[in-house]
Structure 1
């Protein structure tokens, strides 16, 4: 039987009762013949309550957590191909799954007699959320050897410092059959082509609607101008007719004026003659 490693001993200690951690750690270190390993065990830090809750869940619900982390890995890979609405839906589903796992972990801790406060539950949920976004954080959570809660934005060094023993790496998700992978790729390519074609169709429909509006506006203006031209042509015809009438009537009017002027001159002469006759009296 192989001798226990620091990781093995830490996993057992970090899933044990929090109040008994220090006593159990010191006892375990004392029992070891390997002085270097004993010193490493003695140096193990007590986990926070939130870290302990996640450790218990990781060890007792390893299959459930493993499925969730495998799904998270697939979603991280697939999200580059998703559009904004799909990404929003994915985000909602991820948050819902994170809450469910955190609640399960809290209930499991409660069944062991540990009181989980709202702040602790939030820290557990935050830690699981970090595992969904970062492969190193996922490996740290799956190890069951967390010392403290994880931050979603934590660096690799932060994650390493939060794990007792070595920082493990997650194995690759189980490979899907080649034909299934090819079918997924073909379907994804087909969906992209449909999306691109629908986008082009929408753009073409908008362009057509714009040109329809332009044609209708020009047709309405053309009718308006045609009506205006017809009205002006009718007025011009009336003016031509009036001009012709004036030209026809003007010679007669001029003759009448000449006759009237002659009568006036004659009347002036008569008036002068009458005045002279009056003066001679």
Structure 2
């Protein structure tokens, strides 16, 4: 099935966002000139990434080895979480923080080498870091990051680690004793707390739950608005790309027509010159014909005069003989 080459897509998604649309439109025009409208349409559907997504794509394209290491670390983290291996998980979590920090530093270096990239102070490195952390926790985000075709930054709303008390239940020894100690303290707590304190704590817990629910509701509402805004943006970008392409097609058609008109004007001028030369040649031929006819008449008259003279001379000679 025809389509843009992976090299072209990689080139587009490593282009700074402020030059992405121009580069994409040029690729669309080139595909059309090559007689491949299907590929041109597929290229036109490629969407411009945000600056943060572009930085992550740049990292995946320029340093795929580092991103591969990140994906491998993510798999190790998920394995440790599934098996509830506390010590291993803490070790991997430290590696995660170090790896993400190193990748963010590498992104800063790559951006500094790109012409037209924002200055270091304007780089959305917090969004880059959030996206890399999301890739460590979400396999789908990790695949998008590794493909180098991310359109916008990602974040992870879940928990990257299993809660610590649950981990201590399976590690044994000293940590198991530490786990039992909070339960003992919790068992003694009701006798030490006044009823008013417990009521206040319950009220505070209810207020906190209500606040969390409200924040979750606001987040969902904002996510819906963001999704709608992004859809509208993509639609507007598509319409702009189509309109710009239609404008370029119209300009090309007009140029072709003007070129044809110029050629016709040139041919008309040549034809007019040839007609003028033909008229001059006809007039010259007419004058030559007139002169030839006049000369023919003169010669014919001279011949007639000569014949008459010869006939007269012949008659005179006959009379003398008689």
Q: Which runs of 5+ in 1 are unaligned?
A: 155-191, 207-281
Contact 2:53/2:153 (CA < 8 Å) preserved in 1?
A: yes
> What SS does the aligned partner of 2:141 have?
helix
The aligned residue for residue 95 of structure 2 is 93
CA separation in 1, counterparts of 2:176 and 2:28? 71
Q: Is the 8 Å Cα contact of residues 53 and 105 (structure 1) preserved in structure 2?
A: yes
Q: Is the 8 A contact 2:12 2:24 kept in 1?
A: yes
Cα 1:85–1:9 shift into 2, 3 Å: same
Matched residue, 2:57 = 55
Report what 1:109 is aligned to.
111
**What's the secondary structure of 2:19's corresponding residue?**
helix
- Partner of 1:78 in structure 2? 80
Aligned ranges for residues 1-281 of structure 1 at < 5 Å? 5=4, 8-32=7-31, 33-84=35-86, 86-113=88-115, 114=117, 115-117=119-121, 120-153=124-157, 195-196=171-172, 198=173
- Counterpart contact for 1:130–1:137, Cα < 8 Å: yes
Q: 3-state DSSP class of the match of 1:47?
A: coil
CA distance in 1, matches of 2:131, 2:171: 36
Segments of 5+ residues of structure 2 without an aligned counterpart are 159-167, 182-322
Q: Which has the larger radius of gyration?
A: 1
Matched-pair contact (CA < 8 Å) for 2:2–2:38: no
Worse-matched range after superposition: 78-87 or 14-23: 78-87
* Structure 1 residue ranges, 4+ long, deviating more than 6 angstroms after superposition: 199-203
Question: What is the rounded CA distance, in whole Å, between the counterparts of 2:110 and 2:147 in structure 1?
Answer: 17
> For the structure 1 residues 87 and 36, does the alpha-carbon distance in structure 2 shift closer, same or farther, using more than 3 Å as the test?
same
CA shift for structure 1 position 55:
0.9
Q: TM-score, normalized by length of structure 1?
A: 0.50
CA distance in 1, matches of 2:176, 2:80: 26
Q: Provide closer, same or farther for how the CA distance between residues 123 and 117 of structure 1 changes in structure 2, counting only shifts above 3 A.
A: farther
The 3-state SS of whatever aligns with 1:141 is helix
Query: Given that residues 131 and 153 in structure 2 are in contact (C-alpha distance below 8 angstroms), is that contact kept between their aligned partners in structure 1?
Result: yes
Closer, same or farther: CA 146–116 of 1 in aligned 2, 3 Å: farther
